[in-house]
Structure 1
Amino acid sequence: MYNYFFWHYTDGTREYLEIWRNYLRFFWRFFSVKLLLKTLFWPWRRDVTRHGRGFDPQEFLQVAAFNLISRFMGALVKLVTVAFCFLTELLIFILGLIFFGVWLLLPVVVLAFLLLGVRSLFVSSFFSALICFVLSGLLFWLPGLFYSISQKKFPSELSLAEMMKGGWFNLVWVRVGVDPERGRTVNSDELPNLLKEKDITEDEFNHVVSWVARQYEEKERKKRFWREENLLAKRGIGQDWIYGYSVHLDEVSKELNFIRGKEYHLIGREKEAEAIERVLARSEENNVLIVGEPGVGKKTIIKKFAKLIYDGHALPALSYKRALELDMGALMAGSANVSEMEARLRMVLDEATMAGNIILVIDNFNNYVGSQTGVGKIDISGALMPYLASRHIQVIGITTYDGLHKKIEAVPGLLKYFEKVEIKELEDDKMLLVLEDVVSSMEQRTAIRVTYRALKEIISKSGQYFADIAMPERAVDLLDEAFIYAASKTADKIIESRHVDVIISQKTEIPVGEVAMAEREKLSRLEDILHQRVINQEEAVKSIASAMRRSRMGVAEKKRPIGSFLFMGPTGVGKTETAKALAEAYFGKEERMIRLDMSEYQNLYDINRLIGSSEEELGSLSTAVRETPFSLVLFDEIEKAHPNILNLFLQVLDEGWLTDFAGRKVSFRNTIIIATSNAGAELIREMVGQGLNLTAEKERLLDFLQSNNIFKPEFMNRFDRVTIFHPLSKEHLMKIAGLMLGGLNKRLAEQKIAVVITEPLLEKVVELGYDPQYGARPMRRVIQDKIEDLISRKILDGSLQKGQSIEIKPEEI
């Protein structure tokens, strides 16, 4: 009781006076008194009439009368509003004064009723005592409620041990992946052992505590509606009366200052927001062009900035401004032709100029300036530029770097009206804060929680597997998909890293996350799996398998391709077949291989065929990798490509990306790159003929390639491994022939026919098909022309029926 009395006459009294003051300030600001008095005799909503040229007394009197009425009506409405505000303030002041007296006497009155109740209990009747106790309780209820609220500390005012006792701390345990039931039994001394057991670092735990505490404290502060920041956040009345009407503009635009149900927090974009605010606050040259890649959050920054204006937290020069996003589709939809559309545009721009407080936002600005072709594109630069010089209207254009360079810079004189503000991708630490900010609304929508490790996994894996989409969009989209997956495909109420990995695996069709036992066994046996299709070539198979294991186990460099190999050797020794086998083993199917015959890119201008030259002529390489980012890219006979094209591949091999014709990055970080070359084939045959070990003599071959200017050292050094493919012996050729005939049997299986593979048949195929110049490749033609043709003829004449096997004798082919 003593603590309450002490609080009541110290902190409690101070809080009462603060609340009283807050409401007096709130109504003064809510009714916009200062603004209305300052603009008391301004025309109502800037509604004025101007007379034409020359002097016509009748017209002059009509215009003067209308403008006088407009000013009189405006002044009358404003005076009534100000008068009502003064009455409200007087009422608040009187009521506050009365309740202040009551507040000071309240503890004495409550104590008096309590003592009277006790006395009545012993002297008078129980009913009288009950009345006294009830009255004292009723009188004490409101101050007691305020007392309990004021004694409740925010997390930022508590120690960790104190925070762990709060009910809200259960969410911390969920975020770090600990059962809340167990978490509640742990004290601060036992915490390090629990974190060690769950493999949670102290920094991770502290970050999660900060995250949950920050959001909890924000909610709790908003509940105290009487606080000044909560009261002053409410938009007042009368602020639009000093600006003009925008009826037609409102029909083709969307208000950005206040979007109900949306709360945008500005995270990691403070410098960009300050730059935008500084430009818009100028008296001249105050238009902004926001430039950034799709997905970096250009529009989100504008929405947050518009909300700052709405809440009164922007610079004074921007007070009462309205940010409206122009809907160009709606503007064009009501127009029969370009001339009519331009007339409608000028009408809404005139309206915005007359209003005097409009910031017009145009998304995809590059689609509406310069020479345009296509649906939904039009050139408005001619109609827009006269308004850009006006200080009564401001424009924010949103575009990409591609749109800036191709369209906007191509319009003479347009850029001089804009200040460019560039928006870059967020760093991972800022991205984590963004996800923590947006996750609350998703959790409320689905009643599913997400762990801290899942958010970290989203940031890491979205950057690794979806690098063609900018942050934060790629991470937010993946987070949204994780909630949808957990809600629709599982009964889980907590999203963990494994859920994120499942989604990525489904989208990419490659294994992600923890290595299952079956996959672990497959990785361990990868050499054997590849050898089922690749005969001999131990060095190549071993280096490929090693690179794949490093990549899958997360040991390899993530900012480069999964693996890059240069296969050297004569034609027909299995270089291309090895690439096909790897595509099937790693990506699940052979069709995941992108094959480019580099003999078609021997000229300098062929670079345009690889990376594109226009929207109509897209690049064969850039487009294929963008459409199939998880693939094996095979550059066949790479020595035949123009030297400048080989230089183009340096960045691909070293950094895992290239830039296409439009300046867009194309990621190769989820590809396996294999380049094959026949260069030095004669030298390889010569070394084999001399009985030399090709692996040991690799340096001799590399020196030959460099001295003959076939490949530069910096090009070959970019590959993870340069591998020499050995010429094939007769034994190897027999095995390859067996694989080819096995493939034929798979095709014949639908007709229930099989070829009996005998050693004499294999020897005959090798005899007919092996060519020292072309290796084993002609054997496929022998099987096609001789064996397949023979089988076809036997099926036609009826000598070979379904369900039968055929043994082909060498002399038959």
Structure 2
Amino acid sequence: MISIKRSHLFSKLNPTCLKAIESATVSTKLHNHKRVTLAHWLLLLIDGDNRLHAMLVKQDAALARIKTDLQNAIDAIPQQEGESLDFDDNVEHLIHQAWIQASLVCNQNSIDSLHLLLALLSDNHLRQALKKVSPALASLDYHQVMSLQTSLPTTAEKADARLKSSTPDFDTANTQPALETFTTDLTAKARAGKLDAVIGREDEIDQMLDVLLRRRQNNPLLLGEAGVGKTAIAEGFALKVANGEVPPPLQNIQVRVLDLVVLQAGASMKGEFEQRLHDVIEQAIASETPIILFIDEAHTLIGAGGEQGTGDAANLLKPALARGELKVIAATTWAEYKKYLEKDQALARRFQSIQVAEPDTEKAVRILTAVADLLANHHGVVITDEAIDAAVKLSQRYIGWRQLPDKAISLLDTACAQVAGSRYKTPRVIQHLQQDILANQNRQRRKKQCGTVAVNDIDALKQTQAHLNSTTQTWRQARKLVEEIDQHNQTLFSQITSETNALEDDFQTGTEDSFYAKREAKAALDALQQDNPMIHDEVDPAAIARVVEDWTGIPVTRQSTDELQTCLQLDQNLQQHVIGQKNALNALCERVKIAKASLTDPNKPTGVFLLAGPSGTGKTETVLALAELLYGSRDSLITLNMSEYQESHSVSKLKGAPPGYVGYGSGGILTEAVRKKPFSLVLLDEIEKAHPDIYELFFQVFDKGTLEDSEGRKVDFRNTLIILTSNAASDTVVDLSQTQLDSETQYQRLHETLLETFPPAFLGRVTPLIFHPLTHAQLIQITQLQLRRIAQRLSDNHQILLNFDESVLTYIANRCQSTDTGARLIDHLLNRQLLPVISRRIIESMVDNHPLAQIDVRINKDQWDCQYHAIRGDQEVANYEPTHQSGNGALSRVPNGLFPGDHSSPQ
């Protein structure tokens, strides 16, 4: 098929078909559909005054059936909000085939509605598509329709007749559609009770009234961040107009919302968008009822409808605004105002700016209180006053990237949805148990086929099934209690709101009875579910906290007993991972406990610590252990090696490249990581190697708990624990460890040494912790810990028992004290000397098919001496030597320094 430009193809449609497809485009947008389909277009054509409609009437076709089929086809199309609008391929193919029918078969110079039907019936592909949306229409016979088309008057002739009979004056019937199609009457909605009451914005509405009453520059421009309530202010003004609470000049007006999206939809030809907007403006000016247009997201006017180098929608508004013929209320954000509107001074000076600030806490609570009743009725739940306060306070504390009251309303709305949904959805714990049972059953089925089903597998399945049964029973009991609480709530509500002639004493007695019954049911529900509720009876602060935790990952909900116990025992658990740094770990854990008790400064990070000491003393290990114990896994650890930030320009790597540079808009390494995980542990490793400009970057983070990235977005660090490590004062720490000075004097000496590397302003914002060099006994403890981990891996992976004697511990501890690497040498010795020998012997035993059962490790004359025990048949063989040896033969005795890179000498 020859490729034809869409604009040229659509120009062949007569006015009736063109208007129908324009209306179909608007309908498609209103239905949130992605494409204009045959069903959208045909439904409007069949309802119109055209030859297609006349032919169907003449044929006694089932018009009602056809309309129903088309409407059902439209309803079946999935909604896709935010998607770009376009025409379905069948629509363009239909116009192409219809032009062939009109020009070649019917000798016409434009396409009318009957030509479209002829194309649908003559083309096999189009006919199949038509069958899917309207079988009745597809069943018509092409030749019969063709024989009738000559007897029906052409649409062009009808249009000419109407044009000749019409008067040149503006006719109300002809001017009404543009306003009705592209604008919405807010005042009509207000009178119909479809707008919510606006609370806490009285000052801004009064300012708007003052501007509208002015003789000149009487167009208000609402400026504020997204979510502060600019649209609500316009709705509040419409409510005042509807209630007659405005001065006489503003009474009996209409406030209409101009929808720029619908205005642009389907305007594919040059000048079509401008004509639509021009019609709206002219009709608004000519209307007998004064009209004020409200344009939300007014910055989209700049460039709307115009190509580069041509006019735009804003230029169409300027003359009407300059003459004072049209009043407009506009709304946009500060960023968009500066980027677009402020640069067009001719447009900007037609408006008077009104600042719409984020409401304070008290005002936000008032707004949310008014919204709470609507949410409660919508979701069928009870919202407590404490939940309203929590929604405002928690959204302020943890959702810094959005504005009040929008974020608090979203928080409360989501909590209501979760509480309402918990009454009908199967709890997650039950779903997980059901999935575990299904997985176990499948596993047992596979094992049964192989004949390897174990008693332990059957017992595990029985235990899981018993747990599921008890949990399901608890859930059912909880549902009954919630239903009972709902009944009591309805009784209380009816008693409080009823206006009866009952005696006051009787009324109070009935209310008290219901109240106490509800309280008993609620107590029973709390006792039944304890710390793990599966169903909720009301929206309380805990429900709000759960939503915040889902959105941010920050543990805001009430901690379980196990979690609180873990926090209390954090110092003891840390000391099992990190040996010999008791004082530093205690100071670190005290700060964490203060944060858990919510007693830290809410405008600063959880803590900022500088771990100072020589290498190999456990600084990095402390951070890794803290990530696992406090945050659940090492995934919550954000690590930055500050040796990579030794240049001044490397600041941009942390917060993002500035405008005009490569990488702008991608965010910074640090800012993006914290934005994604606001509850995290941040490690700045080897901070002394960073450029001094990096220190200044962190001043605001340590002081205010926030950092602006290169795009001006505030990143919240208030829920992070920041730990810096440094070797800058290593010599001083080594010297201090050999003295008997008290703790205060030691830290004073440390501070004096650190001032040689860090500026005073930087040190004043961090808490230094001393990590002393490890003693011989402490090195032995760490060696034991590392060997036990290796033994655990051997047991888990190969069922091999690992034994080691005191000589191994003493040898490794002596080697560590002879170097400056501290405990780091332990990993080096084990990974470079011991593990290669053991792993080789394990592989050799696999080749012999004689699995190892035990490995004894000791040091003999400064050499590793390993004895292996293998299983041959049913017997255990000591001093096992493999029959297949690799490389240079057996390596049971390994001298130190054997492997490349091991240059250390024995103690």
TM-score range, shorter chain: 0.5 to 0.7
1:621 to 670, 682, 704: 670
What does the per-residue CA deviation read over 1:24-44, in whole Å, with 9 as the maximum and x for residues that have no partner?
A: xxxxxxxxxxxxxxxxxxxxx
- Deviation for aligned residue 1:437: 0.7
The aligned counterpart of 2:687 is: 638
**AA in 1 matched with 2:400:** A
> Where in structure 2 are the equivalents of 1:393-408 lying within 5 Å?
393-408=326-341
Counterpart of 2:601, as a letter, is E
Alignment partner for residue 728 of structure 1, among 758, 769, 774? 774
1:172-198 per-residue CA deviation (whole Å, 9 max, x = no partner) reads xxxxxxxxxxxxxxxxxxxxxxxxxxx
Query: Of 180, 186, 194, which aligns to 1:256?
Result: 186
What pairs with 1:385-424 in structure 2 (closer than 5 Å)?
385-411=318-344, 413-424=346-357
In 2, Cα distance between equivalents of 1:385 and 1:740: 77
Instruction: Give matches, 1:399-798, under 5 Å.
Output: 399-411=332-344, 413-490=346-423, 491=482, 492-612=536-656, 613-614=658-659, 616-689=665-738, 692=741, 696-706=745-755, 708=756, 710-719=757-766, 721-744=767-790, 751-753=797-799, 756=802, 758=804, 759-766=806-813, 772-798=819-845
Query: What is residue 254 of structure 2 aligned with on the other side?
Result: 322
Q: State how far apart, in whole Å, the 2-side matches of 1:326 and 1:603 are.
A: 52
Q: In structure 2, what residue type is equivalent to 1:606?
A: S
Q: How big is the shift at 1:332?
A: 3.2
- 1:513-557 deviation per Cα after TM superposition (whole angstroms, max 9, x unaligned): 444432332222110122232222223211221112112222222
State how far apart, in whole Å, the 2-side matches of 1:731 and 1:372 are.
79
With over 3 angstroms needed to count, the CA separation of the structure-2 counterparts of 1:520 and 1:329, relative to structure 1, is same
Question: What secondary structure sits across from 1:532 in the alignment?
Answer: helix
Per-residue deviation, residues 449-491 of structure 1 (Å, max 9, x unmatched)? 1222222222222222223322112221221222222222254
Moved more, 306-315 or 666-675: 306-315
What is the distance in 2 between the residues matched to 1:704 and 1:605? 27
Quick check: 2:627–2:681 contact (8 Å CA) kept in 1? yes
Alignment-derived partner of residue 509 in structure 2: none
Distance 1:795 1:379 in 2: 77
1:701 to partner: Cα distance? 1.9
TM-score when scaled to structure 2?
A: 0.57
Measure the CA separation in 2 of the matches of 1:471 and 1:803: 66
Pairing 1:152-301 to 2, within 5 Å after superposition: 245=175, 247-259=177-189, 262-301=194-233
Aligned AA (1:529): N
Inter-partner Cα distance in structure 1 for 2:295 and 2:544: 35
Secondary structure of 2:745's partner?
Answer: coil
1:727, distance to aligned residue in structure 2 (A): 2.1
Is residue 442–residue 480 contact of structure 1 (8 Å, CA) maintained in 2? yes
In structure 1, distance between residues paired with 2:312 and 2:791: 63
Tell me how far 1:289 sits from its aligned partner: 3.0
Change (3 A) 1:334 1:740: farther
Distance apart, 1:338 and its partner CA: 7.4
In the alignment, the residues of structure 2 paired with residue 668 and residue 585 of structure 1 have an alpha-carbon distance, to the nearest angstrom, of 20
CA contact (8 A) 1:290 1:397 kept: yes
* Structure 2 CA distance for partners of 1:488 and 1:464, relative to 1, 3 Å: same
- Equivalent positions of 1:55-204 (< 5 A) are none
- Which of the residues 360, 374, 385 maps onto 2:293? 360
Structure 2: state its 5+ residue gaps: 1-162, 424-481, 483-535, 859-863, 865-892, 897-907
Asked if the contact 2:695–2:762 (Cα under 8 Å) also holds between the matched residues in 1, the reply is yes
* AA partner of residue 573 (structure 1): T
How far apart are residue 668 of structure 1 and its match? Answer: 1.4
- Looking at structure 2, the residues matched to 289 and 749 of structure 1 have their Cα atoms a distance apart, in angstroms, of 73
Cα 1:448–1:405 shift into 2, 3 Å: same
**Alpha-carbon distance in 2 for matches of 1:806, 1:350:** 94
CA contact (8 A) 2:680 2:719 kept: yes
Structure 1 residues 448 and 740: alpha-carbon distance in aligned structure 2, compared to 1, 3 A threshold: same
Distance 1:632 1:257, change over 3 A: farther
Q: Cα distance, 1:591 vs. partner?
A: 0.8
Provide Cα deviations, 1:419-438, integer angstroms capped at 9, x if missing partner.
22222222222222122111
Other structure's SS at 1:435 match: helix
Distance 2:316 2:283 in 1: 14
Query: Does 723-732 or 786-795 show the bigger shift?
Result: 786-795
Aligned residues: CA RMSD: 3.7
CA distance in 2, matches of 1:692, 1:338: 85
**Contact 2:845/2:851 (<8 A) preserved:** no
CA distance change for structure 1 residues 751 and 269 in 2, over 3 Å: closer, same or farther? same
| Cα displacement (A) at 1:782 | 4.1
Tell me how far 1:698 sits from its aligned partner.
Answer: 1.0
The residue identity in structure 2 corresponding to 1:668 is F
**Would the aligned equivalents of 1:595 and 1:633 in 2 still touch at CA under 8 Å?**
yes
Range 541-550 or range 384-393, more displaced = 384-393
Q: Give the whole-Å Cα distance in 2 for the aligned partners of 1:275 and 1:422.
A: 10
| Count of matched residue positions in the alignment of Structure 1 and Structure 2 | 574
Q: Do the aligned partners of 1:289 and 1:397 also contact (CA within 8 Å) in 2?
A: yes
| Alpha-carbon distance, 1:802 to partner | 7.0
Please say if residues 184 and 257 of structure 2, whose CA atoms lie closer than 8 Å, have aligned partners that are also in contact.
yes
The structure-2 alpha-carbon separation of the partners of 1:583 and 1:266, relative to structure 1 and needing over 3 Å to count, comes to same
State the shift of 1:632 in Å.
1.4
Provide the C-alpha distance between the structure 2 equivalents of 1:433 and 1:724, rounded to a whole number of angstroms.
Answer: 50
Q: For 1:674, what is the secondary structure of its paired residue?
A: strand
* 1:36-76 C-alpha deviation (Å, 9 max, x unpaired): xxxxxxxxxxxxxxxxxxxxxxxxxx99x968x87xx99xx
Aligned-pair CA distance for 1:439: 1.1
Q: Distance in 2 between matches of 1:382 and 1:803?
A: 86
Tell me, in whole angstroms, the C-alpha distance in 2 between the residues paired with 1:685 and 1:293: 54
CA contact (8 A) 1:402 1:663 kept: no
Distance 1:407 1:730, change over 3 A: farther
Contact 1:694 1:726 in 2 (8 A): no
Q: Relative to structure 1, is the Cα distance of residues 367 and 567 closer, same or farther in structure 2, using a 3 angstrom cutoff?
A: farther
* 1:118 aligned partner: none
TM-score normalised over the length of structure 1 = 0.63
Deviations 1:556-579 (A, max 9, x none): 222222222222222332222222
Change over 3 Å in CA distance of 1:366–1:732 after alignment to 2: farther
User: Structure 1 residues 409, 609: closer, same or farther in 2, change over 3 A?
Assistant: farther
Rate the CA distance shift 1:455–1:571 in 2: closer, same or farther, 3 A.
same
Find the residue that maps to 1:675 and give its secondary structure. Answer: strand
Pick closer, same or farther for the CA change 1:396–1:534 going to 2, 3 Å: farther
1:674 deviates by 1.7
Flag the 1:793–1:277 CA change in 2: closer, same or farther, 3 A.
farther
Q: In structure 2, which of residues 208, 228, 245 is the aligned counterpart of residue 313 of structure 1?
A: 245
- Note if contact 1:257-1:306 (Cα within 8 Å) is conserved in structure 2: yes
Q: Which AA in structure 2 matches 1:724? A: I
Alpha carbons of structure 1 residues 590 and 303: separation in structure 2 relative to 1, 3 Å: same
Is the partner of 1:312 in helix, strand or coil? coil
Partners of 1:737 and 1:441 lie apart in 2 by 64
Partners of 1:338 and 1:755 in 2: CA distance: 82
Quote the Cα distance in structure 1 between the aligned partners of 2:278 and 2:812.
80
CA distance in 2, matches of 1:746, 1:462: 46
